[in-house]
Structure 1
Amino acid sequence: MEKVPSSLDTEALRSFVAGIDAGSFALAAQRLCRSTSAVSAQLKKLEQQCGTALTIKKGRHLELTASGEILLGYARRLLTLNDEALRAVKGELLQGEIRIGMQEDFGESVMPGVLGHFSRQHSGVKITARIDRNQMLINAFTAKSLDMALIWQPPELTNDNMLIGQCPLEWIHHPDADVAGWLKRGEPLPLVAFESPCVMRSRATSCLDRAGIPWRIVFTSHSLSGIWAAVQAGLGITVRTRAGLPANLAIGTDLLPAPGSLGITVLRAENRHDEALTLLQQLMVDAAQRFTHVGRTFA
C-alpha cells in the first residue's frame, strides 16, 4: 500500500508566516496570543514535516534558508485558500469596492497576477485600478480617491506608509553604449528619464553630481514604455530597477557610481479596515517582494 504523504500543519504555517512578516518570532507570538516557546515548537514541527531546515541562525538573527524561501510563498497561498474556504462555507464571502493604484513599473507584473486572481476568487468585490506615476498616485491617495497604492518610497514616510523592502537600482543601457568613451572624452553622460519630478531621475543626477560626472537629459517621457524605447534605441542610459526590464538591454557598469536602492511602499487608507482590502494588500506585498533583496533576517 502506497504511503500517504504527510500534510503541512496549517497553524504551524500561520506561525511561520507571522514570524517572517513581523520580523521576529517573539513578536509574532504576541500577535498570535501564544507563547514564544509554542511558536518555536511549531516552527520545529514544520521543519520535521518538510524534512529540512527552514531558518538558519546568523549571529543574533535567524535567516531563511533556500527551502524556507520556497515554503514561504506556498504557505501564504495555502493560508489564503484555507481562510477563503472557511469564509465560503460560513457564507462570509467578501463584498465591497476597492480603488487601487500602482506605479507603472509594477503594473505589468502585479496587475495580471494579483488583481486578476483576486477578482476571480472574490467576484463580490468591485475593483477599480489605476496605473500612474508616483506623484500622481500620491496626490490621488491624499485626495482620498484611492484606497490603496503601491508606489516607490516617497522622500519622507508618513504613518500611512508601509515599507515592503528595498529594490536595487541599476544603470541600464544598450549593450553597444560607449559609456567608457563618453567618460574618457569628458562628454556629458546622456540620460533618459521621466519628466521631473521623478525619484529615479533625481537619484541618477545626484549620484553623478557627487562623483563629478557631467550629464545631460537627452530624452524625457511620460511613460515607462517610452523610457525603454529610447534606451533600446541607444539614445542614452537610465536608472531604473529590473521590474519590466526588456531582455535586450544591459545592466550595470563599474564605471559609474552605484545608484543604491529604492524602497517599495504601500499606502493604505486609515479609515478602511475591511477584510477585502487587507487580503488584497497582503497579495500585493507578496508580489512586490519579488523585486526586493532576498537576504532578509529575522530576530
Structure 2
Amino acid sequence: MMKRPDSLDLEALRTFVTGIELGNFSLAAKRLSRSTSAVSAQLKKLEHQCGIQLLCKEGRHLKLTDQGELLVSYGKKILSLNDEALQVIHQKRILGKVSLGVQEDFSDKFLPELLSQISRKFPNIQIYAQSGRNSILKEEILQNKIDFALCWESPQEVHERSLIKTLPQHWVASPAFDFDSYIISGKPLPLILVESPCIIRDTAIQALDQENISWQIAVSGGSLHGIWGAVKAGLGITVRTSTGIPDSLVIIDQHLPPLPGIGLSLFESSSEKSDSYRIIKELLLHELEYYFPEL
C-alpha cells in the first residue's frame, strides 16, 4: 500500500514565513493574533514535519539555516496560491467599482503593488486610481468623487479615526549638492518645494525660520516628479518622508534642524459602503502593513 504523502501545516508555515518577513516572531504573533508560546509551538511543529532545523541561534538572534531559507521561498509560493484560491472561491461573484487616490509619494511603488494585488485577487472589481496632491484628493473625497484617499496630515490636524501612522520627515539632497559652501558663506539655502498650499513646504520653512537659517525658494513646482528632478540636478534641497525617495538622493538630517513627524491618513467618502468597497479597504490596509512592517 502506497504511503500517504506528508503535508505541511499551512498555519505553522504562515507563522514561519510571516516571522521571517517581519524580522521578528513577536511581531508575527501580534499580526496573526497568536501568543508567543503558540508561535513557538508552531515553529517546532514545522521543524518536526520537515525533519530538519529551520532556525539556528546567532548571538541573541535567530538565523535561517540553508534549509530554512529554502522553505521560506517555497512557503511564500504555497501560501500565495492557498490565499489566492480561497479569495477566488469566496469572492468570485463580488462585482463593483471602487475609486481611490494616493499622495504622489505612493504612486511609483505602493500603488502599482496594490493594483497588482487587486487585479489578481479580485478580477471582477473595477478600479479607478489616481495620484495627486492633498488638496485635490481631499476635495474629491468631500464631493464623493473617490472612495478612498491616502493623504498627509499635519500634527495639528491629525484625526485618530483616520490616522494610519506618523512618519518622520527628512531633509533630502543630491550627493553632488555642495551643502558646505552654503554653511560657510552664509548664503541662503536653496529650497525645492511643492507650491502652496503644502504641509511639507510649511514644515521646512518653519524649521529653518526657528533656527534663523536663511533660505530662498530655488524651485517651486506643482508635482512631486518635478521636485525630484530639480533635486537630482543639484539645484537645492527638499523635505520629504522616506517613502518614495529616489535611490540617487541622500538624507542630510545631520546638517539641519529636526523636523516634526507627519500623519499618514486614510480618508473615506460618505457614500454607501458596498462589499467591494470593504474588500478593497481591507486589502489596502493589509498592503500598508507590509509596506510599513512596524504598523
The two structures have a TM-score, normalised by structure 1, of: 0.71
1:280 aligned onto 2:272 = no
Distance 1:218 1:15, change over 3 A: same
Q: Which residue of 1 aligns with 2:141?
A: 141
Shift of 1:98: 0.9
CA contact under 8 A between 1:125 and 1:276: conserved in structure 2?
no
SS of equivalent to 1:131? strand
> Aligned runs of 1:25-40 on 2, under 5 Å?
25=29, 29=33
Alpha carbons 2:15, 2:28 under 8 Å: kept: no
Distance of aligned partners of 1:186 and 1:96 in 2 relative to their CA distance in 1, 3 Å threshold? same
Superposition map of 1:155-234 within 5 A: 155=155, 156-158=157-159, 160-164=161-165, 166=167, 168-234=168-234
Name the CA distance, whole Å, in 1 between partners of 2:89 and 2:250: 51
Larger RCO, structure (CA 8 Å, separation 6 or more): 1
Which residue pairs with 1:96 in the alignment? 96
> 1:167-209, CA deviations, whole angstroms, 9 ceiling, x for partnerless residues?
x432222333232221222222111101122122122122212
Tell whether the 8 Å contact from 2:166 to 2:264 is kept in structure 1 after alignment: yes
Q: Distance in 1 between matches of 2:46 and 2:199?
A: 42
Deviations 1:205-258 (A, max 9, x none): 222122221222221100011101222233211112344434443431532123
TM-score normalised over the length of structure 2: 0.72
Q: Distance in 1 between matches of 2:135 and 2:47?
A: 44
The root-mean-square deviation of aligned C-alpha atoms, in Å, is 4.4
Identity %: 36
Structural mapping, 1:10-159, within 5 Å? 10-12=10-12, 25=29, 29=33, 41-42=41-42, 45=45, 51-52=53-54, 81-89=81-89, 92-155=92-155, 156-158=157-159
SS in 2 for 1:267: strand
8 Å Cα contact 2:134/2:152 also seen in 1: yes
Partners in 2 of 1:180 and 1:200 — Cα distance? Answer: 24
Deviations 1:56-110 (A, max 9, x none): xx9xxxx998999xx9999888656434312434574432111110111111112
| Aligned length in residues | 279
| One-letter amino acid matched to 1:212 | N
1:21-73 Cα shifts (integer Å, max 9, x gaps): x979579649xxxx88656644664677794569xxx9xxxx998999xx999
More displaced, 248-257 or 124-133?
Answer: 248-257
The worse-fitting range, judged by mean Cα deviation, of 11-20 and 101-110 is 11-20
Separation of aligned partners in 2, 1:177 and 1:244: 20
- Is the alpha carbon distance of 1:210 and 1:118 closer, same or farther for their aligned partners in structure 2, counting shifts above 3 Å? same
SS in 1 for 2:159: coil
3-state DSSP of counterpart to 1:234: coil
Q: Which has the larger radius of gyration?
A: 2
Give the AA of the match of 1:119: S
C-alpha separation between the residues in 1 aligned to 2:115 and 2:280?
Answer: 12
The separation in 2 between residues aligned to 1:209 and 1:66, in whole angstroms, is: 50
CA distance in 2, matches of 1:107, 1:64: 35
1:285 alignment partner, SS class = helix
Are residues 37 and 288 of structure 1, via their aligned partners in 2, closer, same or farther at CA, if it must alter by over 3 Å? closer
Deviations 1:119-160 (A, max 9, x none): 244221000111101232122223322222222344433354
Code of the aligned partner of 1:237: I
- Find the aligned partners of 2:13 and 2:138 in 1 and give their Cα distance: 35
The aligned counterpart of 1:256 is 256
Distance in 2 (alpha carbons) for counterparts of 1:131 and 1:154: 19
Alpha carbons of structure 1 residues 9 and 282: separation in structure 2 relative to 1, 3 Å: farther
* Partner deviation per Cα, 1:267-297 (whole Å, 9 max, x = no partner): 34575363532443145414532xxxx6x49
State the distance in 1 between where 2:230 and 2:11 align: 51
Indicate the residue corresponding to 2:265 in structure 1: 265
